[in-house]
Structure 1
Amino acid sequence: MRHIELEVQLGGMQERDVSKGNCRGLSVSLTVITLLLGSTPTLLKATGPLTPSVGKPVFPPAGDFAPKWPQQPRPAANAPNILLIMLDDEGFGASSSFGGLVPTPNFDRLARQGARYNNFNTTGMCSPSRASLLTGRYPHNAAMGALSDLAAGYDGYSSVIPKSTSTIAQVLKEHGYGTAMFGKAHFTPPWELTAAGPFDRWPTGLGFEHFYGFLQGDTNQYAPNLVVDNRYVTPPVDPDYFFEKDIADQTIRWIDEQNHADPAKPFFIYYAPGATHAPHHAPADWIARFKGQFDDGWDEVRARIFARQRAAGIIPASTRLTPRPAELPAWDSLSSDQKQVAARFMEAYAAQLSYVDAQIGRLLDTLEKTGKADNTMIILIQGDNGASGEGGVEGTFYEQSLNFSAPESPAYKLANMDKIGGPLSDNMYPAGWAWAMNTPFRWFKQNASHFGAIRNGMTIRWPGHIASTGSVRQQFSHISDIAPTIFEAAGITVPVELNGVRQKPIDGISLAYTFQQPKAPAQRKTQYFEILENVSIYHDGWVAATRPTYMPWQLFSADRPKVSFNDREWQLYNVANDFSEYRDLSAQQPERLHALQTLFLDEAKKNNVLPIHDLGEGGAGRPGLATRSTYTYAADTANVHVSAAPPLGGKAYSIDVDALLSDTGRNGVMVAQGGRFSGFSFYLKDGVPTFAYNAIPPRVFTVQANRALSPGEHHVIVRFEPDGGKEGSGTLRFTIDGADAGGGQLPVTLKRFWFTEGLDVGKDLMTPVSPDYEGPNSFPGVIRSVQFRLQ
């Protein structure tokens, strides 16, 4: 193929072969024409002189052409709307629809109108469940073998969902569905979370035409790190703002807009509340509803839930209640003060779950009002994993405390007990409550070896398609089964190729076979599970599982017990007859255990599970943006994501600010990162340069310069020099316009800040780093520039 340029003039034509750089003289030339020979019809041949035509050419009229339009994809006739709902960290026995003590009337409503599944399994952790849910593949086949935050450089763990594992949203959009997502994503690689993108693995890059929610593992319900489509935005300034209500409002608005624009177009909505992941925030009046309801403690609450589950037929009558792990204290062993605080933690959790049920009820009412309820399949998954024990034995007032090895004082929690669940807390309940919420199973989120981590209640409602509504289905199923179930309901054949990329086979099995036959034999015979070296394998009614070697609250602890995977203790359960994994049969049937171990290895090889590795292994060469030694920002900078902000932990650094201070104000932020629960702020207080370092309250340290700024231009610098102390301590010094301005000590610093708030210049958005001010505390003047220099 070659490009030909023809230059036509009155007396001749010149042809230039562009690909070879040669020119040949011809005879006639009128204008310049470019032809792509071999790929388009020849419009003018350069084989001889141009012969003048006689008379004007006649062009055919438009009436000779039948109108033809590019066709938009149309779904199958009567294709249902799909509302896919998945809560976070709920636990099998939490809601009233699965025997729990937390009233969830709208979950109960769906259970009456549909079918509950008591043998439905997730992956044991957030990101893997979400990737498996949306792609229909096992998590390691979607490159999400662990939290996206814990990505490793192995095929099954990179957190980079490949284009060969298309999502439900991508497939349904190609078949004419409107698609939208509201709530928690948590499937984007950490280094792709900034405003620079790429956005391929943001929800809008994975088939959702609209996204309203947050991208990482959790968020502040009162001040979320909010994303709309592919932009970070500041939440509304409203004292009554609450995230769960906001996403319900947004979803209802989207349904109404779609209905007004094209009532016949079906929709796919993925609704993923932040509840009931920490922080367990809830409006104060909802928390008050549960006052005193959990004073009897987790041992008694668990026994009550178990009795309710058996009485309602949610679990087999033969089920035995597994005992409390030795790692958890008995409720009666707690002091009176400890019981008060622990009960308040649970009241906040219960309020959050009950509140989100009410918001989902508003969605159900909207479907009824718009006439769409009867043609909408609703799938409710009550948790992306089991309830979380990450709050530790005592619970945490601030979620970050255990992650950052910052122990909390029991006296502090007692003194601030009434704030639990409110905007000044970032709370996570004690692990004893997670154990109770996972009734009748043992263990917690992370421990994918046992049902406490992977067994979640699930309900499907689809009017006219499900027999024996209100009943319980017992077929063993997996979260990857949801995608093919939706495809079958929508009359869609899973594409072999999408957008030019050959697709991996779907691992899931459609659950449609259970709709009309409640007691149909389970079609899933084998399923592996693996999270953070906790593994299990299910096969034909048997489970082989490793016993956890550490508790979830020890994950980031320096003294976390470490046991080589090949040295792990394995257990064996006949779950066909032992629903709760009560009795370990490994000593009685070692041959069966060995056969299942071999089967697990085979499944691991087939599904990118290898290498099974410890936290931190495989991180060499991990992509990242925070690799520079200098970072410069302008006055309009807002909410720079933590993965792109200067990494100050363990480093010497300086922050240089050029600013014009007006004569109308004396207080305001020059630059801040983070917020109420961790971060730093460099600001003016009564005109004095001040540096606050929030190392998780109450560890908030403030150092001031020795003099105030006058109105006008100033160059202010703060420098930090670590002194090698165990807790990251060091010295701060200020410089004002080139002259030393004093300083002081920071006794504690953190290796990193929490991901829920970014870096701002000239203000402190969302929540304030320092109790000295309320946000945004805008700077009274003009910030010319802010520059960080890191050693």
Structure 2
Amino acid sequence: MDRAARGYEGFAGRVEEFTSASDPAWRVRPTAPEGAPNIIVMLVDDLGFSDLGPFGSEIPTPFIDGLADEGWVFTNYRTAPMCSPARAALLTGLNPHRAGFGFVAHIDPGYPGFACELPAAAPTLAESLRAGGYATFMVGKWHLTLESRLHDGADRSSWPLQRGFDRYFGSMDGFTSLHHPHRLVQDNSVVDVAEFPDGFFLTDELTDRAIAMVDELRVNDRRKPFFLYYAHTSVHGPIQAKAEDIERHGGRYERGWNALREERFERQRLRGIVPAHAELPGDALADGDRIPHWDDLSAEERALFARHMEVYAAAVDEIDQSVGRLLSRLDELGERENTIIVIASDNGGTAEGGPTGTRSYFAQFGLHGAVPDGWVSDVPRDVSEIGGPRLYGQYPTGWARVSNTPFRSFKSSTYEGGVHAPLVISWPAGAGSPGLRDQFVFVSDLAPTLLELAGVARPAQWNGMAAPEVDGGSIAEVLADPAAPGRAQQYFECVGRRALVDGEWKAVSPIPPTPGQGAAGGAWELYHLPSDPTETRDRAAHEPDRVRELAERWRHEAWRNTVFPLDDDGTLFSVRPASEAPLSEPVELVPFRPPLERFRSARLTVLRSFDVHAELHLERGAEGVLLAHGDQGGGYLLALDGDELLLSYNAYGAMRRVRTTAPGPGACRIELRARAALGLRWSFAVDVDGVERVRLDDMPMLVGMAPFTGISVGYDYGGPVDWELSERHRSYRFRGGRITSLRYVPGEASPEDATVLRAIEREMRDLVD
């Protein structure tokens, strides 16, 4: 069969079998079933179970409340413990590891369950719907492409357009700043913009783009149904919101997290979201050792922590506003009735902010292992800046526990707090009786459900291969019948933490087994969910036979779903393919182009020494940024500012600047030298024509996900490294001369760099051969 036709295989009656593009059947195009509904899936990042109005929140979400009132509210929906695995399962109908995502798309240790690439043979929901006659659109966070394949020279086979979407706009990475996105992609290309206008806000931009995609379709085709996947970047850190929205929530959280959690729980019981006999886990079970008691805090601490939650509430409010704008446009088009809307979270709320939260998000996010003594993970900043463009923050663990009310633990855990999430489905024209549904539904059930409701078959073959059987099952019957059964069983795994739900029982192993204990070994807990939905009474000691049976069943499911090997030695993060080595080779950058992509930039600088060699030809009065790497979350910048040469270093929000006299007109060579030392430190020196002119010694190294914004040459892109410089000059484009060349040369790795490169691809080829 002709390559271009393989995607349509399995759609009998629409495209008959043919053998080449010269066959007349090739002119047949797929047509959606008559009356097929539009589909909108809105996925919110790191949203806790209780953060929306229908699930007990005090945060006003009137538009989502309206969808819940007319639709279905699922009280027993579970997802994967982290974002990329949940997204992979949502789009494929496969379990996370079978979809290649046992973890987020920042690793590649060489195992099938952790490949962080969607299987080529598994059609995505977008691919199935497009093959069935739908227009397919996506805005927002993708996070299903290996970070080493996000750069502009990478293979794009795992980018949104290549996985079924006609149009795409958003951030390919796991998150970004809402005020100054570190990198935006439109369709297959990076958006080339030097700076963002005052008042830019990504949530609003994503909604504008989503509406525009629908409008552009309707101008040209009034009947074709569309699938819109709207993947919010909110409320993933850094948590940010617009000033006017933050102000509306001022004072709402002064009574503290203990009181708010109890109030949410009471509303949940009154509404039937949790059964009346459910218990709110006490501090001994619910991470009380990580959460200070509100009454013990100082007035200054309370004001700081309340502000963090006001910003979070504003961000949730803004998500609801995006729903309202979409609904308004659907009403204007006359298409609201026949549009299926799904709203869900990808995992539970996160405790990444720590006990006190942080105003220096990158000082602790993405770090694996201990930080040195004296490391500042929350640089003191004005409380009023939290949520705004100058500060990258994350709310404290106490508020994360409120988000996950009534459950234990957080994102990445296999307790209910990590996997129990909100789900609302609305379809006014659909059959069935709306209301609460307490059936067990898993994220991989959504794709089969939506395909059934759309009347579109999933292709039996894809890319010339037999499509793997889905793990999810349609819940269309559950929508129609409150008494219909849900799923009975589902395994969970995240960094060695394990769980299995089987009927009324749940077995949980919160830590990986130690070597020699076996895949089903280690400590297991047992909970009877109908009588104890919040996991407060461990019955493992009373039913050891049941524990062993469920642990062994988990092991069987793990083998079937390519879960192994478990990450019991940390190599999940340290082992990377040798094919990434070229990303760490010296590179000459071109001035004024879009910034070098984040991960590509990091391979040149993070956890290592490095040099930058710049050849310049200056005219009198030359000024502007020579190079910038990073943003308000952390970075460094070299500029000619007036008659001075400026080196700015932003250590997670703590600014250091050193200046010297700028070189005069004519040719000159400027070198920036960074030297890594023990304790995650850097020392910087700047030479002009071979003579050292300024130094910055003993600086905290930028590690983990920092610097987050990639390297820009000749200007400071987007979120500035040096805010004061940006206030005076915006992106401060270099002028009055020429940047003849600018070359990054990576040096020796830092002693703390545990990365091991393995010839994974070659080893895999050897196995196949």
Whether 2:444 is the aligned partner of 1:444: answer no
Does structure 1 conserve the Cα–Cα contact (< 8 Å) formed by 2:617 and 2:739? Answer: yes
Give the structure 2 partner of residue 23 of structure 1. none
Task: Spell out, residue by residue over 1:218-247, the C-alpha distance to the aligned partner (whole angstroms, 9 max, x if none).
Answer: 110001121111112156632111000111
- 591, 606, 615: which one aligns with 1:658: 615
- AA of the residue aligned to 2:421: N
- 418, 421, 429: which one aligns with 2:384: 418
How many correspondences in the alignment? 706
Range with bigger deviation, 199-208 or 650-659: 650-659
Give the structure 2 partner of residue 773 of structure 1. 725
- 447, 457, 461: which one aligns with 2:426: 461
Give the structure 2 partner of residue 585 of structure 1. 539
Give the structure 1 partner of residue 590 of structure 2. 634
Task: Spell out, residue by residue over 1:396-433, the C-alpha distance to the aligned partner (whole angstroms, 9 max, x if none).
Answer: 112112235487869954x5111111111111000111
Whether 2:241 is the aligned partner of 1:282: answer yes
3-state SS in 1 of match to 2:608? coil
Find the aligned partners of 1:411 and 1:725 in 2 and give their Cα distance: 21
Whether 2:179 is the aligned partner of 1:227: answer no
- AA of the residue aligned to 2:199: D
- 407, 422, 437: which one aligns with 1:473: 437
Does structure 2 conserve the Cα–Cα contact (< 8 Å) formed by 1:667 and 1:686? Answer: yes
1:239–1:408 Cα change, 3 Å: farther
* CA positional deviation for 1:569: 2.6
Task: Spell out, residue by residue over 1:362-390, the C-alpha distance to the aligned partner (whole angstroms, 9 max, x if none).
Answer: 00111111011111111111x10011111
Task: Spell out, residue by residue over 1:551-605, the C-alpha distance to the aligned partner (whole angstroms, 9 max, x if none).
Answer: xxxxxxxxxxxx9987743210111222222221111111111110000000000
1:757–1:786 Cα change, 3 Å: same
Task: Spell out, residue by residue over 1:526-558, the C-alpha distance to the aligned partner (whole angstroms, 9 max, x if none).
Answer: 1000111111000011000013589xxxxxxxx
Task: Spell out, residue by residue over 1:622-666, the C-alpha distance to the aligned partner (whole angstroms, 9 max, x if none).
Answer: 242654442111223321112222522343332111122233x44
* CA positional deviation for 1:609: 0.6
- AA of the residue aligned to 1:240: G
Give the structure 1 partner of residue 160 of structure 2. 203
Larger Rg computed on CA atoms:
1
Does structure 2 conserve the Cα–Cα contact (< 8 Å) formed by 1:184 and 1:217? Answer: yes
Task: Spell out, residue by residue over 1:500-529, the C-alpha distance to the aligned partner (whole angstroms, 9 max, x if none).
Answer: 12211111010101121012122x111000
1:247–1:331 Cα change, 3 Å: same
3-state SS in 2 of match to 1:149? coil
Task: Spell out, residue by residue over 1:167-197, the C-alpha distance to the aligned partner (whole angstroms, 9 max, x if none).
Answer: 0001111111100101111111011100112
Find the aligned partners of 1:703 and 1:257 in 2 and give their Cα distance: 51
Give the structure 2 partner of residue 687 of structure 1. 643
Whether 2:67 is the aligned partner of 1:105: answer no
Find the aligned partners of 1:758 and 1:203 in 2 and give their Cα distance: 21
* CA positional deviation for 1:687: 3.4
Find the aligned partners of 1:344 and 1:626 in 2 and give their Cα distance: 44
Give the structure 2 partner of residue 507 of structure 1. 471
* CA positional deviation for 1:280: 1.6
Give the structure 2 partner of residue 728 of structure 1. 681
3-state SS in 1 of match to 2:605? coil
* CA positional deviation for 1:463: 1.8
Task: Spell out, residue by residue over 1:665-705, the C-alpha distance to the aligned partner (whole angstroms, 9 max, x if none).
Answer: 4431111111121122121122333322322111x333444
Does structure 2 conserve the Cα–Cα contact (< 8 Å) formed by 1:156 and 1:609? Answer: yes
- 398, 402, 419: which one aligns with 2:360: 398
3-state SS in 1 of match to 2:399? helix
Find the aligned partners of 1:727 and 1:307 in 2 and give their Cα distance: 46
Find the aligned partners of 2:263 and 2:464 in 1 and give their Cα distance: 54
Whether 2:41 is the aligned partner of 1:84: answer yes
Does structure 2 conserve the Cα–Cα contact (< 8 Å) formed by 1:310 and 1:317? Answer: yes
Find the aligned partners of 2:324 and 2:666 in 1 and give their Cα distance: 56
Between structures 1 and 2, the one with greater helix share:
2
- AA of the residue aligned to 1:569: A
Matches within 5 A, 1:133-152: 133-152=90-109
3-state SS in 2 of match to 1:613? coil
* CA positional deviation for 1:335: 2.1
In the alignment, structure 2 segments of 5+ residues that lack a partner are: 1-18, 748-769
Whether 2:343 is the aligned partner of 1:370: answer no
- What's the TM-score, normalizing by structure 2? 0.88
Range with bigger deviation, 156-165 or 478-487: 156-165
Does structure 1 conserve the Cα–Cα contact (< 8 Å) formed by 2:379 and 2:652? Answer: no
- AA of the residue aligned to 1:211: Y
Does structure 2 conserve the Cα–Cα contact (< 8 Å) formed by 1:626 and 1:644? Answer: no
Does structure 2 conserve the Cα–Cα contact (< 8 Å) formed by 1:173 and 1:179? Answer: yes
Does structure 2 conserve the Cα–Cα contact (< 8 Å) formed by 1:526 and 1:537? Answer: yes
Give the structure 2 partner of residue 127 of structure 1. 84
Does structure 1 conserve the Cα–Cα contact (< 8 Å) formed by 2:137 and 2:229? Answer: yes
Question: Percent of counterpart pairs with the same letter?
Answer: 31
The alignment's C-alpha RMSD in Å is 2.4
* CA positional deviation for 1:441: 0.5
- 747, 750, 754: which one aligns with 2:706: 754
Task: Spell out, residue by residue over 1:438-475, the C-alpha distance to the aligned partner (whole angstroms, 9 max, x if none).
Answer: 1110100010x211010111111112324332x10011
* CA positional deviation for 1:744: 4.7
Give the structure 2 partner of residue 528 of structure 1. 491
Task: Spell out, residue by residue over 1:251-304, the C-alpha distance to the aligned partner (whole angstroms, 9 max, x if none).
Answer: 111111111110110100001111111122111111111111111111111110
Does structure 2 conserve the Cα–Cα contact (< 8 Å) formed by 1:185 and 1:213? Answer: yes
Does structure 1 conserve the Cα–Cα contact (< 8 Å) formed by 2:239 and 2:394? Answer: yes
1:740–1:440 Cα change, 3 Å: closer
- 625, 649, 657: which one aligns with 1:702: 657
Give the structure 1 partner of residue 207 of structure 2. 248
- AA of the residue aligned to 2:709: E
Find the aligned partners of 1:131 and 1:306 in 2 and give their Cα distance: 31
Find the aligned partners of 1:547 and 1:517 in 2 and give their Cα distance: 35
3-state SS in 1 of match to 2:492? strand
- What's the TM-score, normalizing by structure 1? 0.85
1:138–1:684 Cα change, 3 Å: same
3-state SS in 2 of match to 1:291? coil
Whether 2:626 is the aligned partner of 1:667: answer no
Give the structure 2 partner of residue 790 of structure 1. 746
3-state SS in 1 of match to 2:280? coil
Find the aligned partners of 1:755 and 1:716 in 2 and give their Cα distance: 22
Task: Spell out, residue by residue over 1:325-345, the C-alpha distance to the aligned partner (whole angstroms, 9 max, x if none).
Answer: 232222222222211111110
Give the structure 1 partner of residue 480 of structure 2. 516
- 305, 313, 338: which one aligns with 1:342: 305
Find the aligned partners of 2:119 and 2:732 in 1 and give their Cα distance: 43
Whether 2:458 is the aligned partner of 1:494: answer yes
Give the structure 2 partner of residue 389 of structure 1. 351
